[in-house]
Amino acid sequence: MKRAPLSEATDEHLIAQSREGDRAAFGELIARYQVQVYHYSRRLLGNHDAAQDITQDVFIKAFMALNTWQPTAAFAAWLLRIARNACLDLLRGRQRFPSDNLDDHIEQLASRTPSAEQQVMQAQQMEQLEQAILKLSLEHREVVILRDIEGFSYQQLADILDINTGTVRSRLSRARAALMQQLNKGASYD
């Protein structure tokens, strides 16, 4: 019987294969989630190099702890919880982490190709948004990133952050208010 390509396999199947020592299956899991783990870490830390290191560490830790993953949790949420813990450990070790630009490149905000002037304006707006996110407390930053950028559900946020969904909702509400305050503060200087 012909084996289906790994790219078509479910996460659960790839995890089962990885638990049996199939490195290619784990490689497919890395390919699926490394960008998400990297972007989450980079947005939380505000540092490209640290996020790259964290991303590598997350997959090493995930591989070592693969037997502890439960199918009741989304694999992506489990990985981001590992990333969150690694980021928090790093942040605890330093008073203030130097911040680089959050993205090496700005994704286009519109589906059509904007003019050069529109691209500059969009890049400036994105930079302002990312700088405003970096000014939020870590608690607020992580809920905004996980919900509004990564698109996780309230329940997934609760699982990742190890808090109840009511706390997720109230924290997200306060985080969004603080973000709007930061953005308005930045707009008043122009």
Looking at the structure, do residues 88 and 119 belong to the same domain, yes or no?
Answer: no
Looking at the structure, do residues 92 and 139 belong to the same domain, yes or no?
Answer: no
Flag whether 51 is in a domain.
yes
Looking at the structure, do residues 122 and 165 belong to the same domain, yes or no?
Answer: yes
Of 102, 135, 162, the position where a domain reaches its end is 102
Flag whether 107 is in a domain.
no
What are 170's two structure tokens? 């109230």
pLDDT band at 105 (very low <50, low <70, confident <90, very high): very low
Of 50, 72, 102, the position where a domain reaches its end is 102
Flag whether 62 is in a domain.
yes
Burial 69-108 (b: 16+ CB within 10 A, else e): beeeebbbbbbbbbbbebbeebeeeeeebeeeebeeebee
Q: What domain count does the chain have?
A: 2
Structural domain of residue 28, as residue ranges? 1-102
Looking at the structure, do residues 25 and 72 belong to the same domain, yes or no?
Answer: yes
CATH number at residue 66: 1.10.1740.10
Looking at the structure, do residues 64 and 132 belong to the same domain, yes or no?
Answer: no
Of 102, 128, 161, the position where a domain reaches its end is 102
pLDDT band at 114 (very low <50, low <70, confident <90, very high): low
Which long-range contacts link 9-14 to residues 24+ away (Cβ below 8 Å)? Answer: 11/75, 12/71
Flag whether 109 is in a domain.
no
Looking at the structure, do residues 118 and 93 belong to the same domain, yes or no?
Answer: no
User: Given a cut of 90, is residue 37 above it in pLDDT?
Assistant: yes
62 and 14 Cβ atoms separated by less than 8 Å? no
Instruction: Provide the whole-model pTM.
Output: 0.64
User: Given a cut of 90, is residue 82 above it in pLDDT?
Assistant: yes
